[in-house]
Amino acid sequence: MEEKGEAVNGPMLQEKRKRFEDEFNIPDEKRLEGEGWIAPFCRAYKIKEYQQHGEAGSVDPNIVDSERARVQKVLATFPPKDWWNFDETSLFAFAPPDRGLTTKQMKGKKKEKFQITLGLATNTDGSEKMPLFYIGRNKKSWMTAELFEEWVRIFDRKMGEAKRYVCLYVDNSSGHSITYKPQHVQLEFFLPNLTSHVQPNDAGIIHSFKAHYRQSFCQQAIDLDNAGEREIYKITLHEAMVMAKEAWDVVTPITIKHCWDHCGIQKATAPTSHPAHANPEAWGIIQEFAVDEAMTLPAAEKRLQELLKDEYIYKHWREAFNTIMEAEGDTARAAEGVERLAHHVLHRTGLTIRIPARSTLQLHPNPETGCVIESRNQIFGPPPTINEVLDPKEEQEIGDSQYAFEGGDTEIVAAVQHELAVKQGEIAETVESDDEPEDRQMPPKLIYTDLVSMCETLEAACIHVSNADSMLDLARLLRQFHGTLRREEPQNARVQSKLDQYFIRK
């Protein structure tokens, strides 16, 4: 995608890998799982993460504990399934990732500031979620008392129909001050400036919703790229709203329950054991990986898996692995980052984690100046000029890439299969002429043009049929077929051209 001036991220690489595995019919037992392969893959192809140019403050822990105790007393008078939390958030529905994986620094783009404001509500065990409440669609659209009262009336009516009386907690913003007195809902408020510590929606529920939305958004970008579209992140407002609904639907009850548990506003239960990601021996392996340049990521993962067995979960260690990779060989920086993360875990679990002493960074004198500098932190060659810094050469080369394939995934798969067949001696390479006889007429392209136009019309129709549950899936399938047509049109033209040349020569 670099020739289009776009970058990809980890989830997009994973999705692309899955599609190639399907194309090459890779057996299930040989397919890659998880995210551990991404870092070595990026190192092998010199891919780095570049920044695209373009609420929890310091609170007294005693105040937080006091607020948790107060909320616990209120909730104790209700059955757990009748504890609810409502909160608003803004979603930058059209914004592409601000970080991406590329082989070189890409030019910055104007940031997409369009946003949708949404309201989300869940109960404590995740067994119930209210539908998304669409509040507005620009930065000035936020919750007002009138809109919140409208939502509370809907929620109160729903609880009344179920003959229930529930407790609903919200933050203490002015938009939540309403005159309406619900009959089946006890409205409670968190104290100001504490919601990031005690509100379940802020503890990860909203983050999970947005992560699912970004995943769907990036998958659609891949579909648009395969379809030959230049603007791969361009979607309509209606399409964004449908994708937001899908993202909210797939937020799991277990995620919601964990977020409620994390806030500590329920009666606490003593854990039976410390979590696996606080294992001191495991952190010793991480520290060894940070300072030992000979140890690879797969080797470190294997040792962790052997130690923790079924309790090993990659996402618990992802931040530590990323800290080491981002250090790019600077063992001192990597070790300090790991030590900081380990101490954070210590603070949360109460464990005493003893990190092995890191190896002393070897310093080498510069033979020309005699000063001692780190061997890895030198500038080799003449320093860049001001113009080279402001307008790097790499950013001027967008559009020229050895990895550009006009035919998309189909052409990539065909090229790889052809190369393998040549290496194995199954076929012999031939040089074909691209000369086109002047007296031969190319086959008509009208059928492809009509089909592409029909696909575009049907895609738009799918998005606007709001009562169809599978409309987004159908739109995606049509987009994939659209991309196939775009790729097959020039390929069929080339095949016909070669056949014409053959018969003319005969």
Same domain? 252 vs 284? no
Looking at the structure, tell me whether residues 137 and 248 fall in a common domain: yes
DSSP per-residue string spanning 448-473: HHHHHHHHHHHHHHHHH-TT-TTHHH
Residue 207 placed within a domain: yes
Amino acid 396: pLDDT: 62
Q: Look at residue 424 and tell me if it is in a domain.
A: no
Contact 270, 158 (CB under 8 A): no
Amino acid residing at 118: L
Same domain, residue pair 228 and 200 = yes
Same-domain check for residues 340 and 221? no
CA distance 165 to 171: 20
**One domain, residues 239 and 313:** no
Question: What CATH number does the domain containing 194 carry?
Answer: 3.30.420.10
State residue 467's pLDDT score.
52
Three-state secondary structure call for residue 131: coil
**Residue 359: its pLDDT value, please?**
44
- DSSP bridge partners of 374: 363
Q: What is the secondary structure of 420-432 as a DSSP string?
A: HHHHTTSS-----
Residue 146 counted as domain residue: yes
Q: 94 and 220 share a domain?
A: yes
Nearest CA among 20, 44, 26 for reference residue 411: 20
Radius of gyration of the chain (CA): 28
Instruction: Decide if 501 is inside a domain.
Output: yes
Report yes or no on 394 lying in a domain: no
Nearest to 345 by CA among 366, 317, 372, 368: 317
Instruction: Tell me if 84 sits within 8 A of 156, measured CB to CB.
Output: no
DSSP 263-312: HT-SPP---SS--GGG-HHHHHHHHHHHH-TT--HHHHHHHHHHHHGGG-
Write the CA distances from 43 to 25, 228, 440, 460, integer angstroms: 26, 28, 49, 40
Domain count, the chain: 3
Q: Which of 30, 495, 483 minimizes the C-alpha distance to 221? A: 483
- pLDDT at res. 16: 82
Q: Indicate whether 78 and 227 sit together in one domain.
A: yes
Amino acid at 62: N
Q: Both 307 and 257 in a single domain? A: no
Residues 148 and 105 in one domain: yes
Domain identity same for 256 and 285: no
User: 332, 364, 396 — which closes off a domain?
Assistant: 364
**Which residues are within 8 A (CB) of 240 and not within 5 positions of it... i.e. 6 or more apart?**
93, 94, 116
Task: Report the SS3 class of residue 122.
Answer: strand
Tokens representing 470? 């599978």
Residue ranges making up the domain that contains 296: 276-364
Residue closest to 149 by CA, chosen among 126, 170, 166? 170
pLDDT of 271 reads 43
Is residue 123 included in any domain, yes or no?
Answer: yes
Residue 389 lies inside a defined structural domain of this protein: no
pLDDT for position 373: 40
User: Of the candidates 217, 236, 263, which is a domain's last residue?
Assistant: 263
Domain boundary among 229, 263, 297: 263
Q: Which two tokens stand for residue 245?
A: 């609904």
Q: Burial-class residue 170 by CB neighbours within 10 Å (0-12, 13-18, 19+).
A: buried
Q: Which helix (H) or strand (E) holds 149?
A: helix 145-161
The reply to whether 128 and 188 lie within a common domain is yes
DSSP summary character for residue 4:
G
pLDDT at residue 497 in the model: 53
- Name the helix (H) or strand (E) containing 101: strand 99-102
Separation of first and last alpha carbons in the chain: 42
- Give me the tens of pLDDT residue by residue for the chain, a chain 506 residues long: 566 666 777 778 888 888 888 888 888 888 888 777 888 888 787 777 765 544 444 567 888 888 899 999 889 888 888 999 999 988 887 887 777 677 777 666 667 778 888 899 999 988 899 999 988 776 666 778 888 999 999 999 999 999 999 999 998 888 888 889 999 999 999 888 888 888 998 888 999 999 899 888 888 888 878 777 777 778 788 888 888 898 999 898 988 989 898 888 887 544 444 556 677 788 888 888 888 888 888 888 888 888 887 778 877 888 888 888 888 778 888 888 888 887 766 555 444 444 444 444 444 444 444 444 444 444 545 667 767 766 666 666 655 566 666 666 777 778 788 787 777 777 766 555 555 455 555 554 446 667 777 777 777 777 666 554 566 677 777 777 767 766 666 555 554 555 455 445 54
Nearest residue to 104 via CA among 416, 405, 399: 399
Asked if the structure places residue 108 within a domain, the reply is: yes
CA 36 to chain CA centroid, Å, is 15
Three-state DSSP class for 373?
strand
Say if residue 175 is in the same domain as residue 258.
yes
